[in-house]
Structure 1
C-alpha cells in the first residue's frame, strides 16, 4: 500500500454504509467491569487517541487499569519543518501524548520506547521484547490494542504484527484499530471481523484528547513544511460516535496444538507422506557423522523423526508443547530406551544440558521473532565444541503465523558464532547444518 497524508481522504460519508450494521463490541465480555487491564500499543503519539481514545476512556471510567505503550516519539511527522528539529518535535509530542492520555484515563501508565519513527520494522526485536516485558506473564483479563497490521503505514503494520504475535502467544484478545485505512481504503478492504464500539460519553473525552495533539491537527506555523499532518477530512474519520476494531480472540498455542492432535493423530502425515520420508532422509544424510552422543529435538510431535534420531545417538531429549502428541510419541517409542520425552516449549523450557546435535525442524515459524532469536542463541550456546545444528523448514507461508521458513534459517545463519557446513534448498523446503564458527 502506497499513500500520502496529502492525498484526498475518502469522504467520511462513504464509510457510513460500509460500517452500518457491524457487530457491537461487548466490552464486558472482554474485561469484567472494575477489573482487568488494557494495554494499548501506539506506533506514534496520537495513534492511541485517534484509534482507541474512546476505548481507553470507557474502560478507565469503569475501573480497568490502562497502560499506553508508545513505540516512537513521532519525530519524523514534519521532516521539512523550518520551525522544529526532529528532537524538538519529539519532546513536544511526548508532552502532548501525556496530556491526551490524562484526559482519557488520568491513572493510566505511559511507556515511551523511543524507537525510531519510520524505522520500527528494523527494530522489531526491541519492540517485541519491550511489549512482552510490559504485558508480563500474568496476563489474566488483559486485552491488547494496537494499530491494524494492514493499515498501510510501515510503523503501524509492524506494531500490529508485534501485538498480534504476543496476543497469540499469551492467548489474549486483540483489538486492532485502523488509522490510515479510512484515508485510502475501499469497502472491500474492511475486514469481516471488524466490530463497532459505541462511545457515548467517552466521545467528548476523545475529542478533547485529539485536540491535545496540536502538532498533528493544527499547523506548526504558517511556513511551508509546517502544515497540519491530519487534514479535516482525515480527522473526520475519528469524530464518529463509535470506534472500530478488528477483533481477534487467539488461543494459546498449546491449546491450538492439543486440539489439532485430538482430531488427527498425524496432522502432518509424517508416517505416510513421501515428502516427509524424503525430507527426513535428506536431513539424516546431511549430518556430518554417523553417531552423536546427545541430541536435543524440540517440537518432536508424534516422534517419527525422534525414532530415526535415536538410531544414531546415545541419548535423545525430545520435547513438545502438546501432551497428546507426546502420548502418541511414547506409544511409538516405547522400546527406545535412549529417548526421553518431556512436555515444554522453547525458548522458555530450554534445557541446561550440552548437546552435539540440536534439531530445529518445522517449529521456527510458530515463534515470535524475539523468541526465534532466543532459540537461535540458545541453540548455539548448547552446542558442544564439535556440535552441530540441523535446521529444516517448509518454505511457503503458514496461514496465521507471521514467520516463514526462510526467515527462520536466516536468523540462525546471521549469528557470528555459527557457520554453514551443509545446505540444501528447493521449492518446498530447505535444510541447513551449522557448526561453531571455530569448530575443531
Structure 2
C-alpha cells in the first residue's frame, strides 16, 4: 500500500482524528518477550526512529535490551533550498542530532549511519539489506527488527521497510513496522488494522521521547529566518507522536526475496560455471562420492544445471530443483538431451519433494537459507536418504554479502546431527563433506 502524493507543508490529518480512530478499533497490545534480547531499529533518515519508535527504544533500554539503531541516510536532503545549510553541512548536523537523540532514549546503544543518498534509497535496497543482515548476524531468532512501514507513502521509508522485511526473512528476526508520514496523509481506511499492535507509553517514557524529538532541532525548528530554512516538522505534525501509545504493524506474510532470481536474470552464468575453479570443484565433488551409481538422486539448488549434468552421469534418475524461474529455464536447456533428468521449480524447505533418494546434493545453496530454513533442510535432506544413501555437501567457505550464514556454518549444522562422515575435503575456498544417513 502506498499513500497519495503529499507535501509536508500542507495541512494533513489532525491528530484528534487519529485519536478517535485508535479508540474505535480493538488493537492488541504489542507483546514483547519478557527476557531481554536485541532491538535493531531502522530509520530512512535521522528522526524516523525517534518519531515512530522512540517509545519502543526507551522501553527496551529500560528493560535491559541491547539496542542498535541503523539509519540508512544522513537526511542531507531535508532542506534542498536552504541558503545556510548545504547538504554537506546538513549531513553532519543530522548525524550529530541522531546520536544525541538516541543517547537520550537508550544510553550506550549502538548507532550507525550508512550514508546512502537521501531521496533515492529505492536504488540501494540491497545495501541496506546487507548492513542489516550483518548487524543481526546468526542470532536473528532473538532479535526484534523495527523499521518504517512499507506503506508509509514516502519512497525512502518504503525502501527501508522493504530492506528490513528481506533482512528479517533471511535472519529469522521478528519484524515490526512503524508509520511516520501515514499519520499526515492517511485516514482510518488506510490502516490494515488486523496487523496493528499498540505499545503503551507512560509519562516518564513520553517525556524522554519528547526530549529525543527535540534533539532533532534541524527538523523541528527553523534553520534560520531565511526562505528555504523553514521548519520541516511543525507542531501539528509532531502532535501525532505525543500520544500515550505507539502503533506498530506486524505482518506475518512472507516477503518476496528476488535477489537470486535477479542474479540469474541479469547474468546468464552468474557463478562462472565453466571457470577452472568451478570445474575443479565439481570434479572433486564427483570423485568424493563413494559409489559409482545412484538410482534416485535429488539436487537442491541446481542453478543453471552445471552440476546436474555431471551428476546425471552417475544417476539412474535425477531431480534438480531451484527456486529461481530463470535458473530453472537455463538448467532445463542445459539438460534437455538427458531424458533421465527432471528440472523443477521448488522453494525449500516448504516445497521439498516427496520420496526417498539414495543421493541428495545440497551444494552452494545452504547459505541462501535463513537459520530456521537451514535447520529444516538438514532434517529433510537426511530424512529423505535411503538407508545406504549419501548426502553431498559442498559450499564456498567465505561469507556471502547480505546473508547470515557462511559455508562452514552450513556444514556444521549437518555435522551436528551425528551423521557419519564418509568423505571430507577442505580447500582454501570451499569445504566438502559426504555424509551417510544417521543411525
The TM-score bracket by the shorter chain reads 0.5 to 0.7
Cα distance in structure 1, aligned partners of 2:128 and 2:245:
29
Cα distance in structure 1, aligned partners of 2:175 and 2:188:
22
The one of 197, 200, 222 aligned to 1:198: 200
Q: 1:69·1:110 contact (CA, 8 Å) conserved in 2?
A: yes
Cα distance, 1:130–1:13 mapped onto 2, change above 3 Å: same
Task: Using the TM superposition, give the Cα deviation of residue 170 of structure 1 relative to its aligned residue in structure 2, in angstroms.
Answer: 2.7
Q: Name the counterpart of 1:2.
A: 5
Q: 1:73·1:114 contact (CA, 8 Å) conserved in 2?
A: yes
The one of 11, 16, 21 aligned to 1:18: 21
Provide the secondary structure at the position in 2 that maps to 1:63: coil
Q: Name the counterpart of 2:426.
A: none
Q: 1:45·1:73 contact (CA, 8 Å) conserved in 2?
A: yes
Cα distance, 1:252–1:170 mapped onto 2, change above 3 Å: farther
Cα distance in structure 2, aligned partners of 1:60 and 1:122:
33
Q: Name the counterpart of 2:245.
A: 242
Q: How many equivalent residue pairs?
A: 313
Q: 2:51·2:241 contact (CA, 8 Å) conserved in 1?
A: yes
Cα distance in structure 1, aligned partners of 2:159 and 2:9:
22
Q: Name the counterpart of 1:152.
A: 153
Q: 2:43·2:160 contact (CA, 8 Å) conserved in 1?
A: yes
Cα distance in structure 2, aligned partners of 1:59 and 1:194:
19
Cα distance in structure 1, aligned partners of 2:352 and 2:186:
47
Q: 1:293·1:315 contact (CA, 8 Å) conserved in 2?
A: no
Task: Using the TM superposition, give the Cα deviation of residue 103 of structure 1 relative to its aligned residue in structure 2, in angstroms.
Answer: 0.4
Q: Are 1:330 and 2:334 matched, yes or no?
A: no
Task: Using the TM superposition, give the Cα deviation of residue 18 of structure 1 relative to its aligned residue in structure 2, in angstroms.
Answer: 1.2
Q: Name the counterpart of 1:225.
A: 228
Within 5 Å, give how 1:163-174 maps onto structure 2.
Answer: 163-174=164-175
Q: 2:76·2:88 contact (CA, 8 Å) conserved in 1?
A: yes
Q: Name the counterpart of 2:162.
A: 161
Q: 2:74·2:115 contact (CA, 8 Å) conserved in 1?
A: yes
Cα distance, 1:346–1:202 mapped onto 2, change above 3 Å: same
Provide the secondary structure at the position in 2 that maps to 1:328: coil
Task: Using the TM superposition, give the Cα deviation of residue 320 of structure 1 relative to its aligned residue in structure 2, in angstroms.
Answer: 6.7
TM-score under structure 1 length normalisation:
0.63
Q: Are 1:209 and 2:212 matched, yes or no?
A: yes
Cα distance in structure 2, aligned partners of 1:64 and 1:209:
19
Cα distance in structure 2, aligned partners of 1:164 and 1:323:
19
Cα distance, 1:3–1:351 mapped onto 2, change above 3 Å: farther
Q: Name the counterpart of 2:132.
A: 131
Cα distance in structure 1, aligned partners of 2:350 and 2:186:
44
Task: Using the TM superposition, give the Cα deviation of residue 125 of structure 1 relative to its aligned residue in structure 2, in angstroms.
Answer: 1.7
Cα distance in structure 2, aligned partners of 1:351 and 1:59:
41
Cα distance in structure 2, aligned partners of 1:101 and 1:149:
23
Q: Name the counterpart of 1:66.
A: 67
Measured against aligned partners, the alpha-carbon deviations of 1:159-198 in whole angstroms (never above 9, x if no partner) come to 0011111222333221110000010002110112112111
Could you tell me which runs of 5 or more consecutive residues in structure 2 were left unpaired when the two chains were aligned.
257-303, 313-318, 375-392, 407-439
Task: Using the TM superposition, give the Cα deviation of residue 298 of structure 1 relative to its aligned residue in structure 2, in angstroms.
Answer: 4.2
TM-score under structure 2 length normalisation:
0.63
Provide the secondary structure at the position in 1 that maps to 2:250: strand
Select between 191-200 and 150-159 the one with higher mean Cα deviation.
191-200
Cα distance in structure 1, aligned partners of 2:54 and 2:190:
23
Measured against aligned partners, the alpha-carbon deviations of 1:380-404 in whole angstroms (never above 9, x if no partner) come to xxxxxxxxxxxxxxxxxxxxxxxxx
Within 5 Å, give how 1:275-294 maps onto structure 2.
Answer: 292-293=309-310
Task: Using the TM superposition, give the Cα deviation of residue 325 of structure 1 relative to its aligned residue in structure 2, in angstroms.
Answer: 4.9
> CA-atom RMSD, angstroms?
3.8
Task: Using the TM superposition, give the Cα deviation of residue 100 of structure 1 relative to its aligned residue in structure 2, in angstroms.
Answer: 0.4
Cα distance in structure 1, aligned partners of 2:82 and 2:206:
32
